[in-house]
């Protein structure tokens, strides 16, 4: 049984004749008749009653037709799933990038009215894997790609913008009285609250880098529990502090920008990806001119 035989079956049933079916399928009438006859021999039953003026399905044909249509639909869906769609872009990111992504997508719709942009929420490692597998066209990431991840070797980073996380602490923190951002040396005197390294390796590396550059050693406090609002930890431990991405600031705590804490946000892309004007425009909007400066 071949897909073209099922296509011809559906065409004959829907047009009511072999001649009209041949016209629809852009083949000769003899080709239609030959393939239907071949299918009938394979199944051991007639699918059409040819004795009437209009060709009609037999009982066997009526049973087969809906299943043939279902198989043809599955075939078309499978083909569509792997065909390149130049008007579609899939972004793998986390929720902290949602605002920037939405603003960029809104901007490009004037130039690409048919654009379809999907925002896939994934943790870091899954973002990398999604781009490598082709499930995503790009991933938004902070910092560098992990050198110990073999998948990451297939990707490159396109820097988009510089992000400045905020230093956050309770209003009762001793440093809250300062009229300026606390320095790394001042921060090192108090316990730093962060999620476990495997949950937020980037912030751990960032603070280590800042402290090393300042020539001081920081002190890690208790780990922030998964799903637990950090603001409660800061209020309950008023001498502690943490680092937050700017758009994740929470009520009840004080936040200060400190130029020592900076991260580069980049798009992770496949090295062998085919050029896509929609992706290029989206990256330009996300960069906000940073790449041109």
pLDDT at 293: 43
More confidently predicted of 56 and 87: 56
Q: Which of 143, 163, 164 is nearest to 152 (CA)?
A: 143
Tokens linked to 27: 């083949």
Q: How many CB atoms lie within 10 A of CB 264?
A: 15
**How far is the C-alpha of 159 from the C-alpha of 137, rounded, in Å?**
16
**How far is the C-alpha of 184 from the C-alpha of 20, rounded, in Å?**
80
pLDDT at 45: 94
Cα dihedral sign for 138, 141, 147, 149?
negative
pLDDT at 193: 94
pLDDT at 292: 46
pLDDT at 141: 92
Average pLDDT over residues 186-191: 95
Instruction: Flag whether pLDDT at 75 surpasses 90.
Output: no
The four Cα atoms 79, 86, 276, 98 give a dihedral, to 10 degrees, of -100
**Paired sense of beta strands 254-257 and 116-121, if any:** unpaired
Which residue do the tokens 């960032």 mark?
206
Tens-digit pLDDT profile for residues 150-176 = 777 889 999 999 988 899 999 999 999
Tens-digit pLDDT profile for residues 191-239 = 999 988 877 888 898 999 999 999 999 999 988 877 667 888 898 999 9
């Amino acid at each position: 049984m071949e897909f073209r035989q099922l296509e011809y079956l559906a065409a004959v049933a829907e047009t009511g004749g072999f001649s009209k079916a041949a016209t629809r399928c852009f083949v000769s009438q003899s080709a239609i008749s030959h393939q239907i006859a071949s299918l009938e021999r394979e199944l051991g039953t007639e699918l059409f009653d040819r004795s009437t003026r209009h060709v009609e399905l037999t009982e066997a044909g009526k049973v087969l037709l809906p299943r043939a249509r279902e198989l043809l639909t599955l075939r078309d869906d499978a083909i569509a799933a792997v065909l390149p769609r130049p008007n579609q872009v899939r972004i793998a990111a986390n929720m902290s990038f949602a605002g920037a992504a939405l603003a960029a997508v809104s901007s490009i719709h004037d130039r690409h009215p048919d654009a379809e942009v999907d925002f896939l929420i994934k943790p870091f490692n899954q973002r990398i894997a999604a781009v490598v597998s082709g499930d995503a066209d790009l991933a938004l990431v902070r910092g560098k790609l992990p050198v110990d991840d073999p998948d990451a070797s297939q990707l490159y980073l396109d820097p988009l913008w510089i992000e400045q996380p905020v230093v956050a602490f309770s209003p009762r923190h001793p440093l809250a009285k300062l009229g300026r951002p606390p320095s790394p040396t001042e921060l090192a005197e108090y316990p730093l609250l962060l999620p476990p390294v495997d949950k937020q390796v980037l912030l751990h590396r960032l603070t280590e880098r800042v402290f090393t550059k300042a020539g001081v050693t920081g002190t890690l406090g208790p780990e922030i529990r998964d799903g637990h609002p950090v603001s409660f930890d800061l209020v309950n431990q008023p001498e502690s502090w943490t680092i937050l991405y700017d758009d994740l600031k929470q009520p009840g705590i004080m936040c200060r920008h400190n130029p020592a804490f900076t991260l580069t946000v980049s798009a992770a892309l496949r090295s062998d990806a085919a050029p896509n004007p929609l992706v290029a425009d989206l990256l330009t909007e996300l960069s906000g001119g940073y790449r041109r400066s």
